[in-house]
Chains A and B, each alone.
Chain A
Amino acid sequence: MSNAPQQQQWGSRLGVILAVAGSAVGLGNFLRFPGNAAENGGGAFMIPYFLALVLVGIPIGWAEWAMGRYGGRKGFHSAPAILGVWCKGAWGRYAGMFGVLIPLGVYFYYVLIESWCLYYFWKYCTGGIGVVAGSDVIDAQVPTTHGFFGDVVGAAEHGALFTGANGMHPVLLAFGITVVLNVWFVYRGLSKGIETVCKYAMPVMALLGLVILLRVLTLDAPAATVGQTVNDGLGYLWNPNFEKLTDFKTWVAATGQIFFSLSVGFGVIINYASYMKKKDDVVLSGLTASATNEFFEVVLGGLITVTASVVFVGAFLTSQATGGSMSLGFKTLPMVFAQMPGGNFFGAAFFLILFLAAITSSLSMLQPTKAFFEEALGIDKVKSTTLVTLWGLAGNAFVLWYSKGLTALDTIDFWVGSVFIMVVAAVQIVAFGWIFGLDRGIAEAHEGAQMRIPKFFQFVIKYVAPAYLFVILIGFCTNNMPGYIDTLLGKVSTTAKADLKTHRQIGNDFPDEPKRTYSWKQVDGPPVTLSDAKAKAPSFPFQEPANAKNFDVKFELAVSDGTNSKTYPIVVGVDVESPGAARLTWVFLIVTIVALLAITAAGAKRWRREGRDLDGLQPAAD
């Protein structure tokens, strides 16, 4: 028998499914997915996307559900303890520490984005964010939306949100409300808190999403703007470009999208499933949660945002925004709502959806950490909630303060929210298929199951998913890691390109794009070496100087079509302050990691002293 304290439990089967789906459905479904698809082959992107869903997403999800429930039967609820059981030893526990670091680390910045959604929602309820309908998009609307977003996130200077000319920025009030809501619902517990929120939030999100979808699909071509139709918007996203399938980056992007969207390897599913009973179905529940996430992503995410953006602001501005999810949501869509009849209502509805999607996710980030503190330190829920709140606030304060260029947010998002997730997922699938044993693992998953895991998936779990994951992890790191490592080392790479206004001017002066040639010449600023002075957008490296301060480099860009030529002044900002902020962020992360490792070690001592089976040597109790 286990000496574990009295366990919490879910109120219903539907409750746990909606809680896991709520954790998975987030900003990425509505903003990142359509941008990713549009950039990586449109309809053709769906081939590697669905392949990754079948070969990686669903199988690892099933493994995580089964591992969590099995750990729960041994009285454990945190990733370190449960992976220690499945991996039969201390290394699993310490690898499992990442299953606490990930939700806690992502919470450091995610709750800030959540508060932006709440602030935008409030602004749309009270008249919008100041974009004037019918005004010139590039001259008036882009500066307005970009300026508003920059103010909200404090992008101009570190600490700008606290020390602005008008005092503290009102988004901090939205942040305070968001934190209080999160802490309150997590404190109330699984059934009364998280489950209740998800049971209401998920249907509301689906309903509001369908209302907005109906509005988008029935839009008329707006006479005052660029005049694209809904069919053009859908074509922009869904027309397949099969050439992209020959690019490995497309496969990495598709697998990454599935991976981050389903929340596998996040440390959340393993925690949520640990509160299920032995006879609760994990196979159908896992599949249903994944399917729900896919519905929000493909049906609502795939039809709303990019379509509306193309109709109202055109393909060019949409393409500028699809690289990052925040640009599309916070900078481009406000221009759409300004043009749309009833725009303030639909803007408020859209940001309410984003807020609900975000809060159901952020709740799932606090719960695994809270459970870890309770079982590793032997403290009650008041103390664990207080500890997780204070630790979360410390991380929030760090990200809020180091807001310039969003470097701290971006650094944590890449390392914790991307790389570490893949590492945890790899540990989980190896523990399930190879260490614990595939047959035992599948038998555990089938306990109380309404449907069996097909034989095909058993082969996939054992061989295909680990190999696929390994290849994608290598690909993802090869594509993205050098830039982040260079930043830490102070090597800043900057792209020289025309701003939107100049870009439009060049388009007007030289409409025949294939005939254009470019020639860059530096005229001011510290000397830099361009990668290719004849390229449309060359880059240049710059080593971080002592006492780094951002500066501008001025160029003259000569454009010609063979007959005429013209020179344009271009000013490019060089961000040499980001390496310092990125290194400080890593110091903060290392302190967090060391503290979590120490708590894991303390927990292991405690569990051993209590006579609990922390190395998974005994079968689980019923």
Chain B
Amino acid sequence: MQRFLHIQPQKCTGCLQCEMACSLDNEGIFNPAKSRIKVFVFHSEGQFAPFTCTQCNDAWCMNACPVDAIQVDRDTGAKIVIDTQCVGCKVCTIACPFGTINYNRDTGKVIKCDLCGGQPECVTACPTDAISYIDSDWAGFERMRASAEKSLASAANS
């Protein structure tokens, strides 16, 4: 089964545990500035939105890379950056329609979500289940189940 990061912004409190978990796993340090997932705050609406790479199937970043430094992790389907090949040209950061691949000036390479090899640390760290790692073919499973439950109730009442 292939999974993906399913984000429910309405559950997010903006605590940044995900950003710290991400930077700890990738950089060995607590540093939101180096996180591959970013929580956006929409202050006057009172909303928070975690956002990261959706692992496109036909990935712009991968297609744009002139040195084949972005490759598919066969186990997870993640598009991962091969550091030894990346030359830091940043073309992928221009190609990505979502802005989720970014340059890291400290290393001279680009960084993006790699799904932590199949055990995403942001999911483990999130205290409110705003980020979950679920079957990519069944993104609507929970909503469908809830709707089905509702249909049971309305059937019982009719």
Whether chains A and B associate is no
Residues of B within 8 A of A (CB): none
